Amino acid sequence: MGEPKGVPSKAAMFHHALHPVMVDFPIAFLIGGFLTDVGYWRTEDLFWARTSVWLIGAGVLMGIAAAILGAIDFFTVVPDKAKRAGWIHFIVNALALTLALLNLLLRLGDEPEQYILFFGLILSLLTTLLLTLGGWFGGELVMRHGVSVFGDREKD
């Protein structure tokens, strides 16, 4: 067998690219925030409102970590032919993270449910849609251009 084809990640640990591992967390947390907002909308149970705050907060924190790792790769290893997909991925996900942070800031305080209907629910939906679009272009980077297919490897 020959060398694997692809562009190795600069943000890697034990030869494994870290950005593809980290992105699952903010995606799951922020989409979970949208689903718990829907739960609150349908039931008006405060459990769902409090759960949304925690999920969105965790999504923002993990999103920042994933963004830092992604930015390291974007600015150091993404080849020129993949820059368009990289910029779209970068901008769309930065926008999603910004909306999620705004959504979180609206909910901080004694009454997290106050902003869920209507504004918070819309922000959660937009965040989910942007994450889906950003993920599509992240897939383009990996599947079409081989970015972060493997981490930095020592030469044998």
148 pLDDT exceeds 80?
Answer: no
User: Is residue 141 situated within a structural domain?
Assistant: yes
User: Is residue 1 situated within a structural domain?
Assistant: no
Mean pLDDT, residues 87-103 taken together: 97
Cβ atoms within 10 Å, residue 42:
9
pLDDT of residue 2: 47
Continuous segment of H or E residues that includes residue 2 = none
| φ/ψ (deg, to 5) at 72 | -60, -50
How many secondary structure helices (H) and strands (E) does the chain include?
5, 4
Confidence of residue 149 (pLDDT cuts 50, 70, 90): low
Whether the CA torsion 103, 104, 107, 108 is positive or negative: it is: negative
* Cβ 93 vs Cβ 137: under 8 Å: no
Average pLDDT over the chain reads: 88
| φ/ψ (deg, to 5) at 5 | -90, 140
**Cα–Cα nearest to 136, from 94, 85, 100:** 85
User: Is residue 2 situated within a structural domain?
Assistant: no
Tell whether pTM > 0.85: yes
User: Is residue 21 situated within a structural domain?
Assistant: yes
User: Is residue 156 situated within a structural domain?
Assistant: no
Q: What is the pLDDT of residues 34-75, one digit of tens each?
A: 999 999 999 999 999 999 999 999 999 999 999 999 999 888
- Paired with 96 in beta bridges are none
pLDDT of residue 25: 97
User: Is residue 20 situated within a structural domain?
Assistant: yes
Place of tokens 């990289």: 86
By three-state DSSP, how is residue 147 classified?
A: strand
Structural domain harbouring 73: 7-151
**Cα–Cα nearest to 147, from 27, 19, 22:** 19
How far apart, in whole angstroms, are the C-alpha atoms of residue 59 and residue 142? 22
The domain total for the chain is 1
User: Is residue 123 situated within a structural domain?
Assistant: yes
Over pLDDT 90: what percentage of the chain? 60
User: Is residue 83 situated within a structural domain?
Assistant: yes
* Residue 149 Rama label (left phi>0; alpha psi -120 to 50; beta): alpha
